[in-house]
Amino acid sequence: MSISPTPIKKRKLESVASAELWACAELWACAGGEENGGWSKSFCLEQRLVKHESQRENQKKNDSNTIKTEGAQDVLPDRAQEHKKSRHVWKTKDNEFEGDLPPFLGEWKVNIEGTEPIDFFMHLFPEELIEEIVLRSNLYALQKGKENLAIINGEMKQFLGINLVMSYLRYPRSRMYWSSEEGLRLDLIANAMPLNRFEQILRYIHFVDNFSQEQGNSDKLFKIRPVLDTLKRTFRSAVDPEEFQSIDEQIIPFKGRLSLKQYIPKKPKPWGVKVWVRAGSSGYMHRFEVYQGLAGRGVASGLGMAADVVMRLCNDIQQKNHKVFFDNFFCTIPLIQALKQQGIYATGTCRSNRLQGAQLKLKSEKKLKEEGRGSCSTVTNAENITITRWLDSSVIHMASSCVGQSPLDLAKRWNKKEKKMLDIQRPFSVKLYNQHMGGVDLMDQCVAMYPHRRKNKRWYLRVFFHFLDVTTVNAWHIYRMRKLDKKDLLHFKASVARALINATSVQTPKRGRPSATPLPLKRRAVSKPSPEIKFGPGDHWPRLTEARNANRCHDSACTRKTKYICMQCLVALCPGCFANFHTR
């Protein structure tokens, strides 16, 4: 005869070992209870319970003694300390600033004297940097066996100016700028420097001595480091930072083989070198840092890789009440706290898994959807950090140390059901974020208008020409801040390019002793007539010119020189070659 298990009424057990005690009780009941010898079968488990309770009592005494001693925080594990620091008590109230931002203690001003576009460009891309590039390029050519390259500063300026022209007057092939065909040749470039000389400089341009890299140096940007360091310094010294700053990522397009290469699918050019950028709301790039993985992280602060990037980019704007904006890739509550301790107020979109308990006090997403589009909920902690949950087309979380929900304003949104624009409520933090987050995007937009897109397998040249474009855009922003003349970016860039090309009339150095008499100027190439002019009707008659020197006959079958030209085609032709030249 089988005995069914004795039913036991479950109750709430107060001891920590309640789960184990309940399991023993159930085991005793399954063994048949007291009538079937259940107690004897579970006697060993009862002993374990008694032993466990005594151990817990001793542990409690030890813990109480440890807490009373000095330096108790030092004996706690690191994770326990971090967990203790990361606790936040959130209250359902708005930020105490109530729409009034902390006053800005700095001053936004330009530290450059000048009136012409070239003045602002040369401050950001100084003469000493050009001298360094010339020195390293000549050294690299000498190391490669090219002893007679001998680039000088004026030629390097012309080389930079030609590349700027190529960015806004784009030909499919670079040699077309020097073409002798009618309608292709660009005199501004072709008269400034011969094609062979341009290709020589492009072949040997270098920024560092390759043999100066120390063994064990893990700097992946060694080949471009002098340029980056100089531009970082000049960008900072040219302008005092404005009040509103934004931090985002930038991509330098490159699909070659490179360990620095990153893939960012949402970018127009997803493959390339990633750059962290801090820019003002005007679009001026104040700070940048080329991403190179673990090699460039430096000393970790414990806030995370993305937060460390923000801290490094903001280390020169402390204690001036700057307002910094970033997206959910960077935004965390500890980062906002760390920036606030340095006198920097931050606002950003925050991911739902980084709210650190605020989601328990905020209205649920379901409730916000019931209230309708535009509804929001706000909580604030003891350090006056506010998190706002707002329902737009989707739920958005905004974290800030200077703004919150109020004052609310209205934003227009398209309603699919009613097929018309509707006004919905928008928190002040969202409004401020939309106004000032686009500084880096504005810089990207300006660079992408007239970019230098010459394909090259050498990654450091792609980085160099990208920052040459960035320097031009930064100089244009400074020019606009000074309110000197209304020039758009295209005319400003063209003005800088012409000034660089026409800075000095440079002739390629010749071997041997210099001539006592000035060298004659090179004659420009004569463009060939188009087939419509060459074979079309007109005055195809020979005319004797008054030129001192004869020119080579343009008939392919003739090797002589002549002073006669065709009156219609305007090319040198021997009188006996007219019929052959004008026949298809």
Q: Give one DSSP letter per residue of 83-141, joined into a string.
A: HHHT----BS---TTTT-PPPP-S---B----SSHHHHHHHHS-HHHHHHHHHHHHHHH
Rounded to an integer, the average pLDDT of 560-570 is 88
Rounded to an integer, the average pLDDT of 68-83 is 40
How confident is the model over 425-448, as pLDDT tens digits? 999 999 999 999 999 999 999 999
Q: Which residues contact 564 (CB under 8 A, 6 or more apart)?
A: 542, 543, 544, 545, 572, 573, 574, 575
Residue 11 has pLDDT above 60, yes or no: no
Identify the pLDDT of residue 13: 38
Band of residue 43 on the pLDDT scale cut at 50, 70, 90:
very low
State the Cα–Cα distance between residues 170 and 455, nearest whole angstrom: 13
Residue 28 has pLDDT above 50, yes or no: no
Residue 297 has pLDDT above 80, yes or no: no
Residue 504 has pLDDT above 70, yes or no: no
Band of residue 39 on the pLDDT scale cut at 50, 70, 90:
very low
| Structure tokens that stand for 335 in this block | 């980062």
Contact 120, 479 (CB under 8 A): yes
Give the chain's length: 584
What pTM value is reported for the model? 0.73
Dihedral angle computed from the Cα positions of residues 316, 253, 127 and 204, in that order, rounded to the nearest 10 degrees: 140
Between 182 and 311, whose confidence is greater?
311
State the Cα–Cα distance between residues 192 and 186, nearest whole angstrom: 10
Rounded to an integer, the average pLDDT of 296-319 is 87
| Structure tokens that stand for 190 in this block | 């072709």
Residue 423 has pLDDT above 50, yes or no: yes
Distances in whole angstroms, Cα of residue 37 to Cα of each of 10, 33, 172, 359: 22, 7, 96, 52
Q: What percent of the chain has pLDDT over 90?
A: 49
Which residue reads 């007109």 in tokens? Answer: 538
Between 301 and 33, whose confidence is greater?
301
How many Cβ atoms from other residues are within 10 Å of residue 509's Cβ? 12
The residue among 207, 285, 386 whose CA lies nearest residue 376 is 386
Q: Which residues contact 100 (CB under 8 A, 6 or more apart)?
A: none
Minimum mean pLDDT range among 78-82, 152-156, 403-407: 78-82
Residue 250: beta bridge partners? Answer: 275
| Structure tokens that stand for 50 in this block | 């008694």
Q: Which secondary-structure segment (H or E) carries 214? A: none
Contact 412, 425 (CB under 8 A): no
Q: Can you spell out the DSSP letters for 390-409?
A: EESSSEEEEEESS--SPSPE
Identify the pLDDT of residue 522: 53
